[in-house]
Amino acid sequence: MAQVGSYGSYGSNYECTLLPGKLKQIDAGAGEVYGVNSNDDIFRWTNTTSQWVNIAGKLKHVTVGRAGLWGVNSGGNVYRFQNGNWFFVAGSMKQVDAGGPKFLAGVNSTDFIFCLRRSCTMSGQSDVSFTLIDGKLIYYSCGSLGCWGVNAGNMIYYRNNITPTFCQGNGWQLVTGSLVMLEVGSDNAVYGVNSLGKVYRRDGITAANPVGTTWTELDLCGTYKHVTFDNSYLWLLNNNGDIFRCTAFE
């Protein structure tokens, strides 16, 4: 991936602040930020006090977005947070994403891809049926303009024709580049990390061209393993679990 010019109001230069605590995974969406640490403890970031608040329960992966707050525990069990408690939902996943238009998406331990349609995510029921999607991915993330994923070979794909009521879509479009993980933000911005720990942003994304045009390597000090974006903030984790919150500047 080559560095290209800036896009919109976001350039490639970011000022980052080290935050307290350590996490192994983090997700930002719908104005909220959650993460889990190496002990599978769950935390929510509070802007008013600038600190992490522990949430009861144990998860290895957490996601927050338009579909609500969801997570997966070390056994692959799926949970939805509702009325202050975690509720078991039928299914087995290793990574889930709640950023789609009120549907849930994710992959299981053998890299099969699934989604849970909006009527099920909003039903409050535990006995639900995930829809299998063709192909295999190690990471899958969605926004209102579609879903993105990476496979075990670090190849990047965009899923065509996804709608709020048709979460499985149809057909994959290969996107140039190589990433180990990526996340779609609430505003449909796409950020990812490559095998060297470099962070990239997808430029040129519009409703008419949801796949975008090019990748920009962000000018960040250090290397990272995880990225997520929401409300103009870029959140990063390095290999030590250190947490950074970044804002763009020209």
**DSSP symbol at 120:** H
Q: What is the pLDDT of residues 96-151, one digit of tens each?
A: 999 999 999 999 999 999 999 998 888 877 888 899 999 999 999 999 999 999 99
Q: What is the pLDDT of residues 178-214, one digit of tens each?
A: 999 999 998 999 999 999 999 999 999 999 999 999 9
Q: Is 169 helix (H, G, I), strand (E, B) or coil?
A: coil
Structural domain boundaries in the chain: 13-249
Residue type, 179: L
**For residue 227, how many other CB atoms are within 10 A of its CB?**
27
Distance spanning both ends of the chain, measured CA to CA: 21
The pLDDT value recorded for residue 120 is 84
Cα angle 106, 26, 229 (rounded to 5 degrees) comes to 90
Q: Report the alpha-carbon distance of residue 13 to residue 248 in Å, rounded.
A: 6
Contacts of 24 (CB under 8 A, 6+ apart): 35, 36, 37, 38, 60, 237, 241
> 204-231: per-residue pLDDT in tens?
999 999 999 999 999 999 999 999 999 9
Q: How many alpha carbons lie under 13 Å from residue 34 in its C-beta half-sphere?
A: 25
- Strands 131-136 and 61-65, bridge-based pairing: unpaired
Q: Which CATH class is domain 13-249?
A: mainly beta
123: how many CB neighbours lie within 10 A of its CB?
12
Q: How far apart are CA 203 and CA 233, in angstroms?
A: 17
- Say what the pLDDT of residue 5 is: 30
List CB contacts of 177: < 8 A, sequence separation 6 or more: 1, 156, 192, 200, 215
Separation of alpha carbons 100 and 205, rounded Å: 16
| C-alpha to C-alpha distance for 205 and 105, rounded to whole angstroms | 21
Q: How many angstroms separate the CA atoms of 35 and 92, rounded? A: 20
> What average pLDDT does the structure give for the chain?
93
